[in-house]
Amino acid sequence: MNPLAIRNSAPWKQRHASVTALIAVALAVACGPSYTPPSASNPPAVRGAVEITASDGFIFSPANVTVSAGTTVRWVNTGSAPHTVTSGLSSRPADSPGTKFDHQLGRGTTFEFQFNEVGEQPFFCRFHESMGMKGVVTVTPSTADGGSASSGDLAGPGGSTGPGGGYGY
């Protein structure tokens, strides 16, 4: 049979169209949208906010941040495990957990909270609290020009220097 006749046949055209569609679907799935954690080349959407990540390592990073009053802190889950961002020292009722915020973070989701009250504001993950998934936002008075957020004073490995030191984070 003539090769040109085969290419012009209905069954060949149907198979060719099916294969082309299958390749297009495979490329769309492989190259489709995916979650990319914020970085220097992919800045966060909200400018002026401090960002804290929750990851599959069961840590908040950075765990301790210092911000000016009025600053928004954004937590983002960059892992696949679910987390919470819960205000307070612990889940013990005596520590009044979740009185300011208690938000679940699924994969790729975010939660934002504006800190206006000066002082140390501890937070933790209810699911991974026993694994040490805790942190502190230290809020300082804002300056006359509105202040600016910073993420300094991180606690070193095994150490409890800077903000949160009184909580042992």
Q: What confidence tens digit (pLDDT) does each residue in 76-85 have?
A: 999 999 999 9
Task: Based on the fold, state whether residues 25 and 54 are members of the same structural domain.
Answer: no
Q: Which domain holds residue 117?
A: 50-154
CA angle 126, 128, 163 (to 5 degrees): 80
Distance of CA 42 to the CA centre of its chain: 13
* Residue with more model confidence, 107 or 34: 107
Task: Based on the fold, state whether residues 59 and 29 are members of the same structural domain.
Answer: no
Residue 121 lies in a domain: yes
* Residue with more model confidence, 148 or 111: 111
> With 90 as the cut, is the pLDDT of residue 10 above it?
no
Distance of CA 19 to the CA centre of its chain: 39
* Neighbouring residues of 108: CB distance < 8 A, sequence distance ≥ 6: 35, 76, 77, 78
Does the N-terminal peptide bond of residue 82 adopt cis geometry, omega within 30 degrees of 0?
no
pLDDT at 49: 78
Task: Based on the fold, state whether residues 24 and 87 are members of the same structural domain.
Answer: no
Task: Based on the fold, state whether residues 112 and 29 are members of the same structural domain.
Answer: no
Task: Based on the fold, state whether residues 1 and 58 are members of the same structural domain.
Answer: no
Q: What confidence tens digit (pLDDT) does each residue in 106-116 have?
A: 999 999 999 99
pLDDT at 159: 35
- Residue type (1 letter), 125: C
pLDDT at 166: 45
Is the Cβ–Cβ distance between 66 and 153 less than 8 Å? yes
Phi first, then psi: give them for residue 42, nearest 5 degrees. -130, 80
CATH of the domain at 65: 2.60.40.420
Could you give the number of structural domains in the chain? Answer: 2
**In terms of residues, how long is the chain?**
169
In the sheet that holds 83-87, the strands lie side by side as: 64-68, 134-140, 119-124, 83-87, 102-105
Residue 146 lies in a domain: yes
Task: Based on the fold, state whether residues 56 and 29 are members of the same structural domain.
Answer: no
DSSP string, 28-49: HHHHS-------SSS--SSTT-
Residue 168 lies in a domain: no
pLDDT at 91: 94
